[in-house]
Amino acid sequence: MGKVYLVGAGPGDAKLITLRGLELIQKADVIIYDFLVNKELLAFAKEDAEIIYAGKQASKHELPQKDINALIVNKAKKDVVVVRLKGGDPFIFGRGGEEAQALAEHGVSFEIVPGITSAISVPAYAGIPLTHRDFASTVAFITGHEDEKKTESTIRWNELAKGPDTLVFLMGVKNLRTIKERLIKGGRNPETQACLIQWGTLPKQKVVVGKLGEIDIVAEKAGIQPPAIIIVGNVINLRRQLQWFESRPLMGKKIAITRARHQSIRLGEKLADAGAEVLYYPTIDIKPIRPNRKLSHAIDIIDQYACIIFTSTNAVSVFFEALSAKTRDARALAGVKILPIGQATASLLESKGIIPDFIPDTFTSEGIVETLKTIGINGKRLLLPRAEEARDIIVRFVRDHGGTCDVIPIYRTALPKNIVPLTSKPDIITFTSSSTVKNFVTLYGEKTLGKMVIASIGPVTTKTINSLGLTVHIEAERYDIPGLVEAILEYVKPVPVTHNR
């Protein structure tokens, strides 16, 4: 008999998962997840994990609850680790109690892993403290959607209307008018502040505020749909002063990343931290060239090189994999000068135990050439492990100035096997190399870029974009990921209003 873990996945933001929850996702043999679970969490699952969607949306049930209970029990009987991943917290209107009962009745071992409930986290992301010494000393959490089998409501509306200072309703959008009417009938002042928060804690979070007596009309005009929570209480007034999440510079912007998926994390995190909804459309797979006799030979004679030039993080990764395969490490490079193309490549080298000797002022091949001019390369032998297709500026310079440059292709770029459908149109699309541009056009067509704001990491990529007859709206002044993010932030910055005297 296996074991089941009822895990709260948090309110939406993937980073709000608990450490225990993440640990269990990583070790699970089977994951059964709900509609409100952030799909990014599933990327942490084992490659061979069975992943089953059992979501329930408002008025749309993929599986009845009894079938979900049976599914969990049956999977656990196969002597595997089952994670039942539920939005928010399993025991706060999540029917986790019913699932735990079913497991107990069938003698299945289980564990409850609490999650951060949307009842408290979503208001916090909207700048609304549920309690405050000056406004609210009590708070109540109420379901906005009672069991349809009930002949009448079991909620004590009169006591609720006159009791707790702050009311939080979950799953109540469809019943908003009824909730409003019952609270007012029970004695709640229709002038009391109310608000709805849709897709809380995510970049697409939407908040509407109004008086209780008209909140259903306000919500309808704003197009609020589930999932959303409802708050009633004067603590909502604090939102004017405390809202922080929606004030981030890229809030509401959809920004696409076209790099290889494993290389997109740093850019994605920086954009998300600034409030963007990040869309991943990887257009490249990095394929190490194997076997690679030339690379193997170069490692054997590594002490004959005066300098190794790394023009990308990919080159560093593949080179050090080959170095390790020959049971050698950073010590083999003692006495060899190391020249990376930029800070990202330098940082990866440092993680390998190598402190670069030089870093160009400009993170391009031209920048490397300028650095080589200061080194003096006449009569020296240099190693350039790089992509199969690359510009020859460095090679020509070295050879024209009396040096020898061993160019060894160690990886190639290819179209990804799994193409992500372009279902959501981004406001801004980023390109970090000429290959990402060419491959995007191959995969999605040139016309798809017609109305997008295009952001380029530097002049080489910009030249490729322009060659397609397209306009680059944003170009990084510093040709790396932080520089690209800075350029995007500068682009979206509001233009200050000047008043003529």
Co-location of 300 and 405 in the same domain? yes
Check which CATH number belongs to the domain holding 48 and give it.
3.40.1010.10
Under DSSP, the state recorded for 408 is E
Among 368, 367, 481, CA closest to 432: 481
DSSP, collapsed to helix, strand or coil, labels residue 285 as strand
Element (H, E) at 411: strand 404-414
**168 within a domain of the structure (yes/no):** yes
Residues of the chain with pLDDT under 50: none
* Count of the separate structural domains present in the chain: 4
* Cα Rg, the chain, nearest whole Å: 28
280 and 429 inside one domain? yes
Query: Are the C-beta atoms of 226 and 207 separated by less than 8 Å?
Result: no
Residue 501 lies in a domain: no
The torsion of the CA quartet 341, 366, 398, 324, rounded to 10 degrees, works out to: 10
The answer on 424 and 486 residing in a single domain is yes
φ/ψ of residue 254, rounded to 5: -100, 120
Secondary structure class of 189 (helix, strand, coil): coil
C-alpha 230: how far from chain center:
26
Concerning whether 300 is annotated as a catalytic residue, the answer is no
Q: Check residue 410 and give its pLDDT.
A: 95
| Given 13, 34, 165, 480, the catalytic residue | 34
**Are 104 and 129 contained in the same domain?**
no
Contact 92, 142 (CB under 8 A): no
- Do residues 92 and 130 both lie within one domain? no
> Residue 212 in contact with residue 196, Cβ under 8 Å?
no
Nearest-angstrom CA–CA distance, 120 and 168: 9
**Cα(73)–Cα(102) distance, integer angstroms:** 8
* Given the residues 75, 171, 253, 480, the one annotated as active site: 171
> Residue 8: which domain range?
3-116
Decide if 357 is catalytic.
no
Q: Provide, for the chain, the percentages of residues in helix, strand and coil under a 3-state DSSP scheme, each rounded to the nearest 5.
A: 40, 20, 40
Burial tier of 500 (Cβ tally within 10 Å: 0-12, 13-18, 19+): exposed
Contact of 32 with 52, CB cutoff 8 Å: yes
C-alpha–C-alpha distance, residues 305 and 381, integer Å: 5
Q: Which of 371, 392, 414 is the last residue of a domain?
A: 414
Integer CA distances (angstroms), 169 to 127, 166, 243, 492, in order: 17, 10, 20, 35
**108 shares its domain with 8:** yes
**pLDDT value at position 497?**
57
Helices vs strands, H then E, count in the chain: 17, 22
Give the residue among 60, 62, 59 at the shortest CA–CA distance from 32: 62
Q: Is residue 497 part of a domain?
A: no
Residue at 499 is within a domain = no
Scanning 163-264, the segments in alpha helix (DSSP H) are 176-186, 215-222, 239-242
Cα three-residue angle 143-145-150, rounded to 5 degrees: 105
- Same domain (yes/no): 300, 397: yes
For residues 131 and 238, membership in a common domain is answered with yes
3-state secondary structure (DSSP) of residue 473 = coil
CATH number of the domain that 363 lies in?
3.40.50.10090
Counting Cα atoms < 13 Å in the Cβ hemisphere of 216 gives 15
Cα(382)–Cα(166) distance, integer angstroms:
70
| CATH number of the domain within which 202 lies | 3.30.950.10
Q: Are residues 235 and 151 in the same domain?
A: yes
| In-domain check, residue 442 | yes
Q: Kindly report, residue by residue over 223-238, the tens digit of the pLDDT.
A: 999 999 999 999 999 9
The total number of residues written for the chain in this structure: 501
Same domain, 280 and 425: yes
Active-site annotation holds for 34: yes
**Is residue 387 within 8 Å of 367, Cβ to Cβ?**
no
Say if residues 250 and 489 touch (Cβ distance below 8 Å): yes
Which listed residue (27, 46, 56, 294) is catalytic?
A: 56
386 and 466 belong to one structural domain = no
The domain boundary residue, chosen from 99, 116, 133: 116
Whole-number Å distance between alpha carbons of 382 and 385 = 10
The confidence score (pLDDT) of residue 61 equals 54
**Is 138 a member of any domain?**
yes
